[in-house]
Amino acid sequence: MLGDGEAPTRSAILQMREEHQVVLEAYDFLDEKRLLLASEMLRQLGHYEDLLRQYETMQGSAEQILVATIRRHGLQGTQVYPGRYLKAAELIARAETFMGVKLLTTELQMPGDLEPTPVAQPSPEAEECRRQFLELARLGAVLAGVSGNLHRLLGEYRKTERRARALENVVIPEMVYKLRDMSSRLEELDQEDVVRVHMKVFER
């Protein structure tokens, strides 16, 4: 790089052009990366919205069956009705990487041999209530994984966007200006050399 007042050289201009090409390639990479990240975000968002609709529908159904269970057993009876405890459950997360972002597929895994405590006075309402809230927990685990993916993708997209805009709006225009200035100054120097040579010829 040239200091203030320093005469430009062809080698300096060549070096600047090489640096400019590297920066352009970096910008192209960042531009493509943010497009891919945006596409993946839209895909994950569509999946999230589908899961959320399922969750809200299931939640409404679970609330209705909970009301029916309370009517059948009373509030206290419903509270002591044996449930499917989640302390033995395990949250399984399978990870993959997309453009440097960790994407998780999560699920709530229940032991296959875990059976609820026997009930003295079982009822279809309470059994269905227990089943639906367990399914809610399972679906919530999947939903949580997709939600986390969206947050991480958005964070990476914003970081990539800032870098791309810095190159596009600051670094690249500055390099183009410097290249033009150096080329113009070098051309002026070449013209001065030509004039100087002609003057020496005329002096002879």
Instruction: Give a yes or no: residue 158 inside a domain.
Output: yes
Instruction: Give a yes or no: residue 90 inside a domain.
Output: yes
Q: Which domain holds residue 46?
A: 11-112+133-165
Instruction: Give a yes or no: residue 118 inside a domain.
Output: no
State the first-to-last Cα distance of the chain, in angstroms, to the nearest integer.
39
Entry pTM: 0.78
pLDDT band at residue 11 under the 50/70/90 scheme: confident
Whether the per-residue pLDDT at 91 is higher than 70: the answer is: yes
Over residues 33-52, the pLDDT tens digits come to 999 999 999 999 999 999 99
Q: Which residue has the higher pLDDT, 149 or 200?
A: 149
Instruction: Give a yes or no: residue 63 inside a domain.
Output: yes
Over residues 113-132, the pLDDT tens digits come to 556 667 777 889 998 998 89
In the chain, how many domains are there?
A: 1
Predicted local confidence at residue 121, as pLDDT: 79
Instruction: Give a yes or no: residue 161 inside a domain.
Output: yes
Over residues 139-167, the pLDDT tens digits come to 999 999 999 999 999 999 999 999 999 99
Q: Which residues contact 157 (CB under 8 A, 6 or more apart)?
A: 34, 37, 38, 41
Among 16-30, 118-132, 180-194, where is mean pLDDT lowest?
180-194
Instruction: Give a yes or no: residue 184 inside a domain.
Output: no
Instruction: Give a yes or no: residue 27 inside a domain.
Output: yes
Give the torsion through C-alpha atoms of 189, 191, 193, 195, to 10 deg. Answer: -140
